[in-house]
Amino acid sequence: MKRLPVNRLSSRTSSAIIWIVLLTLPLWMRAVGSYTELGTQVVVLALAAMALNFLLGFTGTLSFGHAAYFGLGAYGAAMTIKYLVPSTPLAILVGMAAGTIAAMIIGALIVKLRGVYFAMVTIAFGQVFYFITFRWNTVTGGDDGLSGWHRIPLNLGFTTIDIEHDGKAFYYFVLLCFALSVGVMAFLLRSPFGRTLLAIRENERRARFLGIPIERHLWLSFVISCLFASVAGALYALLNNFTDPRALYWGQSGNFVIMAVLGGMRSFWGPLIGAAIFVVLQDYVSSHTENWMSFVGLFFVLVVLFFPRGVLGIIRRRTMR
Amino acid sequence: MDREPPQRSSRRTVLKAGLAVGAAQLAGPFIISARGEEPVKIGLDNPLTGTYAAVGKNELIGCQYAVEQINAKGGILGRHVELLVEDSTSGDSSTAVQKARKLIDRDKVNFLVGNVNSALAVAMAGVAYEKGVFMMDPGGHTDAITGTGCHWNVFRICNTTQTEANAVAATLVKDYGKKFYYITPDYAFGHTLEAGMIKAVAALGGSRAGGALTPLGTTDFSSYLIAAEAAKPDVIIFLVQGDDQVNALKQAVQFGLEKRVHLAGAQGELEPLEGLPPEARIGTWVFEWYWNQPGVPHVAEFVAAIKKKTGRVPTARTWFGFAGTWSCALAANGAKSLEAVKMAKFLQGYHLPPEVALMPDGAFFRAGQNQLIPDLFVGHAQASGSAPDDLFKVTQVVKGVDVAGTLEETGCKMTWPA
């Protein structure tokens, strides 16, 4: 019982530290020899990994197909700007809707499956979307990807924020979307609904005996998780001013899982740390050797072998001792 | 159950902190203090891993050799030239885009160079255009880069797929007949290539006898080859690339197809020919550059230098990298500036000097499109030639101006910054 206040305090301090780092990132990123877009990329992929972790870490269900919803978000946003309306917020909403609606349908079909079967069916459905984007050349641009569009400056009525050319402005725009998303996720996890998800994770049979409608909760958790994954996808497309079928490929889903596990899937902020390590490591090592993927892989193997609770798990254990 | 949280920092913590600070010093960036004169930076964002690793590395060799030459001849605007290399991977456009941003934002490159993969080249062109940085695409062929998706700051060395199709179609229709059958890889690139070829053949009065779309990574082409022969075409066109091309040609030869129908393709490269057994080195192809050009000035020196460097003859890819990098230097020295707009303006209609063009009729950047218009080398693959590396027999040198189409046909509408 004594642990609780300490724990809450440490989680509050760690949240504060994380927000301070994220808010000041563009100010010192360049000074340490990096660049703003790398920070934006970390935040976007962190959102995707945290969205996945809503399902993986807090509901105890592994999805290997989250790239599909990430990619649908990306294509939804890209195609809105390219074919419909040149508006960045609308693009994000359409991308979000595309990913969420797909997740609602797919989710309803698969919630009865468990464990590895659930994971495999998510891959299968993910690949369906991948092949649609890969083959439907006239609409999605096929393997060449969807280019020839760019994010549109935000028009707030009284002023215009140029997120198109100003990298820092776009970073803060992404950070705002990130804050809203993780805020909602944190709120949900603290609500009775979130506690129920934890109960399902810990002991599904027991939760069922308590009268909890497991399937409905799993479905909701899957849909919420995919909703934020598609927001991340939409932001990713806006970051690159480009998207291609690789965003939906199952390898991308694997990257999200790696980020979540690397950082620590039992903690709320774990996937953010995982995404930061993954992106920065990839960025740094790949400039020095063409065998950079072996190093990223090796690092992942080491973390899984020696620190199964992820990087944040190590830190937590230290502070709690 | 719980121990008290540590209240004071122990000796060990201090030591660890010291170690961390020390490591941070090592891991930190190399911040270059003012050195009088900064080098001019060329950023190469090209595949070094994956499917296109071999061709990507050949382009890299060309770039490196060009940088050595440029520095030996006084650099760019009297400044030393530095080549920064990033691996874009062979197919992951987000990595390519990330690397392009890194080169532009962090390393402040003056030129961005890449990419073998057309899709990645298009994505990089988007970044270069957004940032207003001069970009050179040495070997990404898709038409859009200097066509409907052209930008004032994006230049290209290799030909468009349409140009290649036009170059080889004339020879095929003249020498082998008018009915064509297509074996096409089933994705965007293959479809574009086939459409280009059909257009080129139709313009010469030829027709399409049929076609098969083969999934990427097909190993067994027998059913496609049987269907192709049954359609009774005069020519079977292989538009499949890389390993698929190797498999398709090997099986065609096993079937003895080459004795009954003429086999051909559009874009041919030395790298896949090296991977084929001698008996499968058959068919009519178009090469964009070839090392065996007797009598053309400067080519022999270039070949000798690359051979000395790598032990192998240069391929078209080596030349792409070489000519691309030299074009950057020539643009800056010609414009007497590193401003992208001035350099891009200078290159409009610019003819490359013969020691860079390395082909009989020279090469120039077409104004209003930023596309290099060089010679193309039509010929056939051969089991063995004058030298072990001589796997292609050039039968005709086609002038680019004759097959590149008009500027209107490319669909490029360029808008310059105000």
pLDDT in tens, B47-91: 998 878 888 999 999 999 999 999 999 999 999 999 999 998 888
pLDDT for the residue numbered A300: 83
Mean pLDDT of B141-158: 92
Which pTM value belongs to this model? 0.84
d(CA A8, CA B398): 75
User: Residue B183 belongs to a domain with what CATH number?
Assistant: 3.40.50.2300
Higher pLDDT, B319 or B98: B319
Over chain B, what is the mean pLDDT?
88
> Cα–Cα distances in Å, from A302 out to A33, B151, B166, B250?
27, 46, 54, 44
Are residues B325 and B360 both part of a single domain?
Answer: yes
pLDDT at residue B5 is higher than 60: no
- Partner-chain residue, chosen from A35, A240, A293, that has the shortest CB–CB distance to B106: A35
Instruction: Decide: residue A206, CB within 10 A, 0-12 exposed, 13-18 middle, 19+ buried.
Output: exposed
Are residues B139 and B196 both part of a single domain?
Answer: no
Does residue B381 belong to any structural domain of this protein? yes
| Residues B123 and A244 sit within 8 Å (Cβ to Cβ) | yes
pLDDT for the residue numbered B51: 78
Are residues B191 and B149 both part of a single domain?
Answer: no
Are residues B267 and B381 both part of a single domain?
Answer: yes
Does residue B414 belong to any structural domain of this protein? no
Are residues B256 and B353 both part of a single domain?
Answer: no
Q: Which residues from chain A sit within 8 angstroms of residue B101, using beta carbons?
A: 35, 37-38
pLDDT for the residue numbered A3: 44
Do the Cβ atoms of A147 and B149 come within 8 Å? yes
Task: For chain A, give every domain's residue range.
Answer: 35-249
Are residues B166 and B155 both part of a single domain?
Answer: no
**Which residues, in sequence order, are CB contacts of B170 under 8 Å at separation 6+?**
B204, B398, B403
Does residue B18 belong to any structural domain of this protein? no
Q: Which residues from chain A sit within 8 angstroms of residue B91, using beta carbons?
A: 246
pLDDT at residue B13 is higher than 70: no
pLDDT for the residue numbered B26: 45
pLDDT for the residue numbered A315: 74
Mean pLDDT of A59-75: 94
pLDDT for the residue numbered A156: 83
Q: Of B225, B227, B230, B274, which Cα lies nearest the Cα of B254?
A: B225
Mean pLDDT of A137-155: 84
Are residues B323 and B363 both part of a single domain?
Answer: yes
pLDDT for the residue numbered B27: 47
Residue of A nearest to B97 (CA): A240
Q: How confident is the model at residue B10 (pLDDT cuts 50, 70, 90)?
A: low
Domain span at residue B258 reads 162-287+377-400
Do the Cβ atoms of A241 and B127 come within 8 Å? yes
pLDDT in tens, B352-388: 999 999 999 999 999 999 999 999 999 999 988 888 8
Do the Cβ atoms of B105 and A167 come within 8 Å? yes
Complete DSSP assignment for A59-89: S----S-HHHHHHHHHHHHHHIIIII---HH
pLDDT at residue B6 is higher than 50: no
> Cα–Cα distances in Å, from B302 out to A33, A157, B75, B83?
38, 61, 19, 20
Does residue B367 belong to any structural domain of this protein? yes
Calculate Rg over the CA atoms of chain A. Answer: 19
How is residue B75 written in tokens?
A: 């650099």
> Cα–Cα distances in Å, from A239 out to A130, A246, B123, B415?
20, 15, 12, 24
pLDDT for the residue numbered A7: 54
pLDDT at residue B25 is higher than 60: no
Mean pLDDT of B203-208: 91
Establish if A38 touches chain B: CB-CB under 8 angstroms.
yes
d(CA A253, CA A63): 8
Q: Which residues from chain A sit within 8 angstroms of residue B31, using beta carbons?
A: 33
Are residues B395 and B275 both part of a single domain?
Answer: yes
Task: Look up the ipTM and state it.
Answer: 0.81
Nearest-CA distance B241 → chain A (Å):
15
pLDDT at residue B337 is higher than 90: yes
Q: How confident is the model at residue B16 (pLDDT cuts 50, 70, 90)?
A: low
Does residue B98 belong to any structural domain of this protein? yes
Q: Which of A64-73, A291-300, A311-320, B244-253 has the lowest mean pLDDT?
A: A311-320
pLDDT in tens, A20-60: 999 999 888 888 878 888 999 999 999 999 999 999 999 99
pLDDT at residue B44 is higher than 50: yes
pLDDT at residue B21 is higher than 60: no
B31, B59, B93, best to mutate vs chain A, most A CBs in 10 Å: B93
> Cα–Cα distances in Å, from A38 out to B45, B47, B96, B98, B200?
16, 20, 13, 8, 44
Nearest-CA distance A145 → chain B (Å):
7
| Residues B267 and B285 sit within 8 Å (Cβ to Cβ) | yes
pLDDT at residue A216 is higher than 80: yes
Among all chains, which residue has been given the structure tokens 């269900």? A61
Establish if B121 touches chain A: CB-CB under 8 angstroms.
no
pLDDT in tens, B263-282: 999 888 888 888 888 888 99
Higher pLDDT, A158 or B27: A158
- The count of domains in chain B is 2
Q: Which of A200-204, B115-119, B235-239 has the lowest mean pLDDT?
A: B115-119
3-state secondary structure of A266: coil
Establish if A184 touches chain B: CB-CB under 8 angstroms.
no
Q: How confident is the model at residue B170 (pLDDT cuts 50, 70, 90)?
A: confident
d(CA B144, CA B141): 9
Are residues B189 and B283 both part of a single domain?
Answer: yes
Does residue B107 belong to any structural domain of this protein? yes
Do the Cβ atoms of A283 and B126 come within 8 Å? no
pLDDT for the residue numbered B365: 95
Provide the percentage of residues in chain B whose pLDDT is more than 70. Answer: 91
Are residues B188 and B87 both part of a single domain?
Answer: no
Are residues B169 and B270 both part of a single domain?
Answer: yes
Do the Cβ atoms of A142 and B49 come within 8 Å? no
Does residue B239 belong to any structural domain of this protein? yes
d(CA B272, CA B98): 30
Are residues B279 and B197 both part of a single domain?
Answer: yes
d(CA A195, CA B91): 42
Do the Cβ atoms of B123 and A148 come within 8 Å? no
Q: Of B125, B132, B142, B51, which Cα lies nearest the Cα of B92?
A: B51
Does residue B7 belong to any structural domain of this protein? no
How is residue B159 written in tokens?
A: 């030909």
